[in-house]
Chains A and B, each alone.
Chain A
Amino acid sequence: MISMRSEGRAMGAVISRNFSLIRRYLGWEVVFAFYNAVNALTIALIGLAEPGPGQGRRVLYLAIGALLWNFLSVLFFEISNSVMWERWEGTIEYSFMAPVRRVTYLLGVCAYAVVYGLARTLVVLLGIFLLFHLPLGQADLTAALLVLAAASLPFIGLGLLGAIMPMLSAERGAQATQVIQGVILLVSGIYYPITVLPHWLQVLAWFSPATYTLTSVRAAVLDGASVGAVLPTVFGLLGAGIVLVPIGIWAFHIAERYALRTGKLKRNG
Chain B
Amino acid sequence: MLAIECVDVFKSFRPERESLLGRKKPKVAALQDISFTMPESECLGILGPNGSGKSTLIRLICTLLLPDRGELKVFGRDVVKAPQEVRRLIHRVSVEASFFKKLSAQENLDYAAGLYGLSRGAARSRAQEILERLGLPRAKYRAPLEEMSRGQQQKVAIARALLTSPTLLLLDEPTTGLDPRSRRDVQQFIEEIRHDYGASIVLCTHDMQEAQRLCDRVAVLRDGRFIALDTPTELAVRHGGGGGLEGAFLALTGEDPHEEEEMNA
Contact = CB atoms under 8 A, between A and B. Distances in A.
B94 interface: yes
A266 B100 contact: no
A93 B98 contact: yes
Nearest to B103: A20
A269 B54 CA distance: 9
Interface stretch (A29-37, A97-105, A182-190, A197-205): A97-105
A89 B105 CA distance: 14
Interface in A10-27: 10, 12-14, 16-17, 20-21, 24-25
Contact of A99 (B13, B87, B99): B87
A16 B107 CA distance: 9
Interface string B103-121: 1000100111111111100
Contacts of B112: 13, 94, 98
A98 B115 contact: yes
A13 B98 contact: no
B110 A13 contact: yes
A24 B105 CA distance: 14
A268 B144 CA distance: 21
Given A17-B111, A98-B116, A262-B14, A267 B96 contact: yes
B110 A16 contact: yes
B114 A261 contact: no
Nearest to B120: A9
Contact of A24 (B85, B88, B96, B103): B103
Give the most central of B90, B103, B117: most A CB within 10 Å.
Answer: B117
B98 A94 contact: yes
Contacts of B95: 268-269
The size class of the interface chain A forms with chain B is: 35 or more
Give the most central of B99, B102, B114: most A CB within 10 Å.
Answer: B114
Interface in B26-59: 55-56, 59
Interface in A232-269: 257, 260-263, 265-269
A101 B112 CA distance: 14
The majority secondary structure among interface residues of chain A is helix
A91 B99 contact: yes
A14 B119 CA distance: 14
Interface stretch (B60-68, B178-186, B237-245, B248-256): B60-68
B209 interface: no
Interface string A83-101: 0010001110111111111
Interface string B130-173: 00000000000000100000000000000010000000000010
Contacts of B160: 94
A96 B90 CA distance: 12
B233 interface: no
A9 B119 contact: yes
Nearest to A20: B107
Contacts of B91: 97
Interface of B: 13-14, 55-56, 59, 62-66, 84-85, 87-88, 90-92, 94-96, 98-103, 107, 110-119, 144, 160, 172
Given A13-B114, A260-B65, A269-B94, 9 more contacts: A9-B114, A14-B115, A17-B103, A17-B111, A90-B98, A97-B90, A105-B115, A269-B55, A269-B95
12 contacts: A13-B110, A13-B114, A14-B115, A16-B114, A20-B103, A97-B87, A98-B116, A100-B117, A260-B63, A263-B56, A267-B96, A267-B98
